[in-house]
Structure 1
Amino acid sequence: MPSRSDQTRQRVVEAAIGLLTRGGRDAVTTRAVAEAAGLQPPAIYRLFGDKDGLLDAVAEHGFTAFLASKRIDPDPPDPIADLRAGWDVAIEFGLANPALYTLMYAEPTRAESAAFRTGMGVLMGRIRRLAAGGWLRVDEELAAQIIHATARGAVLTWLSLPEERRDPALLTTLRESMVAAVTVDQPAVRGSGPAGAARALRAALPEQTLLSEAEQRLLTEWLGRLATDD
C-alpha cells in the first residue's frame, strides 16, 4: 500500500496535470497546484524541492502512462506491421495529451527518466526483431533515432497547426517515410550482400553463449563494419 507521502505526491502530480491540461505550463504555479491539491505551498517544496522538480515528476508520470499504453508483442507475426502499430500508439498518446506530451519532451534531460528508458527499451526490442529478421536498412541506434524523431516531430507539428490545417495525411506520410527509411522491402538476409546478414547476426549475438565476452565484442565490431557496407 502506498505511504501517505506517496499518496500526497500522487495527488499533487494529478492536480498539476489538471492545471497543465486546462491552462498550459504557465498555469502550473506552486501556489495554484497547492490549492488544487488541498495543501499549503511549502508542502510542494518539501515533496519536490522546487517547481522544476514538480514538473519533472509530472513528466515522469506522463512517460509511465505512455509506457502503459504500449502494446508489446514479443513475437509479432509481422514485425513491420508491429513497427507501424507502435508508432501509431505514440502519435495517439501525444494527440490525446497535448500539454503533457509537450512538457515530456520539452527538456532533453528528461531522457534520463526511468520510464522513458524503459519505453526506449521496448522500441529497441522492436528494432532488434527487425534486424534479426533481416528487415533493417540502417544501424539499430540510427533506426531508434529516426523512429523517435519522426513520432515526436509529427505530434509537435500537428499540435502547432491551426485545426483547419490539420491533415491526417501528414501523419500517414510521416509514418510511411519512417518505415521506408529504416526497413527494406524484402529481408536483406535473403540477398547476396553481407550487410543485411551482418545486421541480422549482430542482432542475434546477445542470445548466444558460445563466445567469450572479448570474442563477442570483437565480432560485434567486425559485424558493425560489414553492416554499414551497402
Structure 2
Amino acid sequence: MYGAEYHQKIIMAAAQIIVDEGLSHLSLRAVAARAGVSTTVIYSLVGKRDDLLRAVSIEARNSFVRAQREVEVSEDAVADLKELGRAYYGWALGNPALYGVMFGGHFKSQEADREPIEPLATAVQRLQIQGKLKAPDSWQVVWALWAAVHGAALLGITDCQFGDQGQELEKFEVLLEGIVRGLVKT
C-alpha cells in the first residue's frame, strides 16, 4: 500500500529529528508530522520507535557503504584513495542528516563495523604491498585519511568554513592532495 518513497521520507524525517533535536525528541508523532504521513503509515512500514531507530541507523550505514563501493577500483591505488575521499565528502555534504546519525554518537555498536572503511583499507593495503606508504602500519594511514576527510566533511556540513565561501570543494581538494602526499611515496 505504501511504497519505498514513504519509507524513505520517514527515515529521513527521523534522521533529521535525531540530528536537530536529539534522540529524546524522536517520537512517531514527531516523525509523522515532519514526513507528512500518519503514525499508522509509520507503524505499517517501519514499526515501533525502536524499529525506526534501527532502520535509520541501518539506512545511514548502508547509504555510506554504497557511496564508498560505487568508487571503481582502478590500477592506480593513489587515485582510488582520492576518489574514496571525494565520495565520502560528497556523501556527507549530500546527506547531512544521515551523516549526523552515522557519526554523531547516537548509536553505539557492540562490535566494530569495518564494512564502511573496507574500500579505503583495501586501497591503502594495495599501496603497502607496492611499498608506497610512508608509515609502517597501514592502519595508521587508514586512520589518518579517514580522520582528515571526516573532519573536512564535518566542517562542510556545519558551515564552519574559513576564507572564501563557495569554495568548499577546492579547499577539500587541497586537503586531500596534502594528506595523500604526506602519507604516500611518489
* Higher RCO (CA 8 Å, separation ≥ 6 residues): 2
| Aligned-residue CA RMSD (Å) | 3.6
Deviation at 1:181? 3.0
CA contact (8 A) 2:120 2:142 kept: yes
Q: Which amino acid aligns with 1:184?
A: K
> Alpha carbons of 1:182 and 1:56: their partners in 2 closer, same or farther (altered >3 Å)?
farther
- Residue 165 of structure 1 aligns to a residue whose secondary structure is coil
Give the gaps of 5 or more residues in structure 2.
none
Equivalent residue, structure 1, for 2:120: 123
Q: CA offsets, 1:146-185, max 9 Å, x none?
A: 1111111101112222676353332112212220232112
**Secondary structure at the counterpart of residue 137 of structure 1:** coil
State TM-score, norm by structure 1: 0.61
Match of residue 94 from structure 2 = 96
**Alignment partner of 1:25 out of 20, 23, 27:** 20
* Aligned-residue offset at 1:22: 8.6
Structure-2 separation of matches of 1:42 and 1:63: 21
Query: What residue number does 2:178 align with?
Result: 177
Which structure has more helix as a fraction of its residues? Answer: 1
Unaligned runs of 5+ in 1: 186-230
Shift of 1:101: 0.9
CA contact (8 A) 1:80 1:130 kept: yes
- CA–CA distance in 2 between the matches of 1:110 and 1:181? 32
Partners of 2:11 and 2:55 within 8 A in 1? no
Matched residues, number: 175
For 1:121, the aligned partner's letter is: E
Q: Give the equivalent residue in structure 1 for 2:59.
A: 61
C-alpha distance 13-32 of structure 1, shift in aligned 2 (>3 A): farther
Q: Percent identity between the aligned chains?
A: 21
CA–CA distance in structure 2, aligned partners of residues 152 and 87 of structure 1: 9
User: Residue 9 and residue 96 in structure 1: after superposition, are their counterparts in 2 closer, same or farther (change >3 A)?
Assistant: closer
Asked whether the equivalents of residues 89 and 153 of structure 2 are also in contact (C-alpha less than 8 Å), the reply is yes
Higher CA-based Rg? 1
* Cα separation, 2, equivalents of 1:126 and 1:21: 32
Structure 2 match to 1:144: 142
The TM-score with structure 2 as length reference comes to: 0.73
